[in-house]
Amino acid sequence: MTERHIVGMGGGGFHMEPENPLLDDFVLSLARRSPARICLVPTAGGDNRELIIRFYRAFSGRATATDLTLIGSPTLPTNPPRSSQLESFVLEQDIIYVSGGSGVNMLALWRAHGLDKVLRKAWEQGVVMAGMSAGLICWFEEYIDASMTGTPTRMRDGLGFLKGSASPHFNVAPGRRAGYRSLIEQGLAEGYGVDEGAALHFKGTELVEAVGSRPDAAAYRFARGADGKVGDEALPTRFLGAR
């Protein structure tokens, strides 16, 4: 069976830790060939031009970089492939790297273009799926969004490659832990809280390990107990900079 990988970061990578390549190096190490073909999908950030340029700079000399824009203009480094081109373009990649931003907007656009189905096919064929923030939560069945209502809201339209839910930026967003626990108590699927600088690595649909670009970055598993109360435990997190 083809080996499938998902790496979901709570924050970090080239656009949050430009001087710390440990998480991005880890993602590259999972690619099926070297140099890897790595494609940025910046939909969640509105196909931001500056972000795309930073991506190319970060991976120059380390991989063959490209991007897939669904909102972008012809001034971007590459024009967006459309319809008949989309599947073949994605399947040529070794890594899909999803940026942060609005998960709700991103998933709506992906479905409008049929990219959700293309990404699943690519994952099943061994293309590594990776990303941070929106690029963490999108792979799960459920996630939390506050962009539409102003308050954290349970969303059930994740891609569903992975069971459960996830919440990023766990160590920097005030009230994130308590809010995530509360929403699980109200019915949100059990899942994971992930610090900035930490990532979850899934092989197939099984969690292999949590890794970090900082010694203090961690990830947490949230689950309901027999009494219905939600507890959490810190997952062992391997610091990628350890010698």
Q: Is the pLDDT of residue 76 over 80?
A: no
CA–CA separation, 176 and 221 (whole Å): 14
**Is 243 within the bounds of a domain?**
no
Residue tagged 């399947």 (tokens): 91
Per the annotation, the verdict on 113 as an active-site residue is: no
CATH (domain of 72): 3.40.50.880
| pLDDT value of residue 243 | 67
| pLDDT value of residue 149 | 72
The mean predicted confidence, pLDDT, of the chain is 92
Region 177-193 average pLDDT = 94
**Is 102 within the bounds of a domain?**
yes
Q: Which domain holds residue 182?
A: 5-237
**Is 66 within the bounds of a domain?**
yes
How many domains is the chain built from? 1
CA–CA separation, 162 and 142 (whole Å): 9
When pLDDT is cut at 50, 70 and 90, the band that residue 227 belongs to is confident
Q: Active-site residue among 113, 169, 201, 213? A: 169
Q: Which residues of 201-210 are buried (b: 16+ CB within 10 A; e: fewer)?
A: bbeeeebeeb
CA–CA separation, 100 and 42 (whole Å): 7
Region 144-152 average pLDDT = 78
| pLDDT value of residue 82 | 57
Q: Give the least confident one: 71-85, 178-192, 228-242.
A: 71-85
**Is 150 within the bounds of a domain?**
yes
**Is 48 within the bounds of a domain?**
yes
**Residue ranges in the chain assigned as alpha helix (H):** 22-29, 49-59, 83-91, 103-113, 115-124, 134-137, 176-185
The model's pTM = 0.94
**Is 21 within the bounds of a domain?**
yes
What's 31's DSSP letter?
A: S
Per the annotation, the verdict on 133 as an active-site residue is: yes
Region 27-51 average pLDDT = 96
Task: Tokens for 137, please give them.
Answer: 């939560």
Greatest alpha-carbon pair distance for the chain in Å reads 56
**Nearest alpha-carbon partner for 13 in 32, 44, 47, 40:** 40
Q: Active-site residue among 5, 102, 113, 133? A: 133
| pLDDT value of residue 83 | 56
Region 193-218 average pLDDT = 98
| pLDDT value of residue 79 | 52
CA–CA separation, 147 and 159 (whole Å): 19
| pLDDT value of residue 242 | 76
**Nearest alpha-carbon partner for 197 in 209, 214, 215, 210:** 214
**Is 242 within the bounds of a domain?**
no
Q: Give the Å distances, CA to CA, from 88 to 80, 91, 118, 121, 122.
A: 13, 5, 9, 11, 10
Region 199-225 average pLDDT = 97
